[in-house]
C-alpha cells in the first residue's frame, strides 16, 4: 500500500531549518575546536615554563643560601689571603644570585599570568562547545518531535555558544565566572 506522504516527512521547512542549524553550528564548533586545542597546547607550554622558572628560582635561592652560609663560615673561621680571596668570590656569587633571583621569580610569575589569561579563553571555548552541543541536540529532538519551539530554544543556546566562541577567537572579556566555576 502506497502512502501519499511527501519525501522528507510532514514538515520539510522544519527539517530544513534543523539541517541548516546543525550544519552551521557543527562547522563553527569544529573550527573552534582547532583553536581551543592550540590554546590548550599554549597553556601546557606556559605551565611547563612556569614550573621550570619556579624550579630555577628555587635553585638560585638555594645557591644563594649556600654561598651566604659558606661566606659566614669562612669569615668566622679563616684568616689570610686565601680566606680573603674566597670571601671575594663568595661576595661576587652572592651579588649575582641576589640579582638573579627576582628576575627568575618575575619570569615565573609572567608565565603563570600567561597561563591564567589563556585559561579564560579556554573556558570560553569550553562553554561554546557545551552550548552548541546542547543546541544541536535540541535541534535534533525538534526534528524528531516536529516542534518548532524546541528548535528556537536550541537557537538561543547555539547563539550563546557562538558568542562565547567568538569571545574566545576575538579576545573579548566575556567570561561567566559562575558557569566556569560550576563546570570546573
Residue 28 has pLDDT above 70, yes or no: yes
Sole residue written with cell 573579548: 172
pLDDT at 61: 96
Picking from 134, 122, 136, 135, the residue whose alpha carbon sits closest to that of residue 165 is 122
Tally of CB atoms within 10 A around 14: 19
Residue 38 has pLDDT above 50, yes or no: yes
Q: How far from the centroid of its chain's Cα atoms is residue 130's Cα?
A: 16
pLDDT, average across residues 124-132: 95
Q: How far from the centroid of its chain's Cα atoms is residue 57's Cα?
A: 24
% of the chain exceeding 90 in pLDDT: 81
Domain boundaries, the chain: 12-179
Picking from 120, 123, 119, 143, the residue whose alpha carbon sits closest to that of residue 131 is 123
Spatial distance between the Cα atoms of 124 and 151, rounded to a whole number of angstroms: 23
Residue 10 has pLDDT above 70, yes or no: no
DSSP 171: T
pLDDT at 179: 74
Scanning 78-147, the segments in alpha helix (DSSP H) are 81-145
25-30 own/partner pairs: CB under 8 Å, 24+ apart:
25/132, 25/135, 25/136, 25/139, 25/158, 25/161, 25/162, 26/132, 26/136, 28/132, 28/161, 28/162, 28/165, 29/128, 29/129, 29/132, 29/133, 29/161, 29/165
pLDDT, average across residues 141-157: 95
pLDDT, average across residues 44-69: 96
Confidence grade of residue 177 (pLDDT, cut at 50, 70, 90): confident
Tell me the pLDDT tens digit for each residue of 69-117. 999 999 989 888 898 899 999 999 999 999 999 999 999 999 999 999 9
Spatial distance between the Cα atoms of 125 and 127, rounded to a whole number of angstroms: 5
Residue 182 has pLDDT above 80, yes or no: no
Helix axes 148-170, 81-145, angle to 10 degrees: 160
- Please tell me the chain's helix, strand, coil percentages from 3-state DSSP, rounded to the nearest 5: 90, 0, 10
Spatial distance between the Cα atoms of 98 and 149, rounded to a whole number of angstroms: 67
Confidence grade of residue 27 (pLDDT, cut at 50, 70, 90): very high
Amino acid at each position: 500500500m502506497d502512502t501519499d506522504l511527501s519525501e522528507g516527512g510532514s514538515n520539510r521547512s522544519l527539517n530544513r531549518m534543523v539541517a541548516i542549524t546543525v550544519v552551521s553550528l557543527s562547522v563553527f564548533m569544529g573550527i573552534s575546536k582547532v583553536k581551543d586545542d592550540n590554546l590548550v597546547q599554549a597553556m601546557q607550554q606556559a605551565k611547563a615554563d612556569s614550573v621550570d622558572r619556579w624550579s630555577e628560582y628555587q635553585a638560585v635561592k638555594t645557591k644563594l643560601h649556600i654561598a651566604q652560609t659558606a661566606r659566614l663560615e669562612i669569615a668566622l673561621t679563616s684568616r689570610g689571603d686565601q680566606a680573603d680571596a674566597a670571601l671575594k668570590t663568595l661576595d661576587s656569587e652572592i651579588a649575582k644570585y641576589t640579582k638573579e633571583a627576582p628576575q627568575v621569580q618575575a619570569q615565573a610569575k609572567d608565565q603563570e599570568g600567561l597561563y591564567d589569561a589563556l585559561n579564560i579563553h579556554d573556558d570560553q571555548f569550553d562553554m561554546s562547545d557545551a552550548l552548541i552541543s546542547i543546541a544541536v541536540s535540541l535541534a535534533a529532538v525538534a526534528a524528531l518531535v516536529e516542534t518548532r519551539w524546541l528548535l528556537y530554544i536550541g537557537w538561543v543556546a547555539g547563539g550563546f555558544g557562538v558568542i562565547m566562541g567568538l569571545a574566545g577567537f576575538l579576545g573579548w572579556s566575556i567570561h561567566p565566572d559562575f558557569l566556569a566555576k560550576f563546570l570546573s
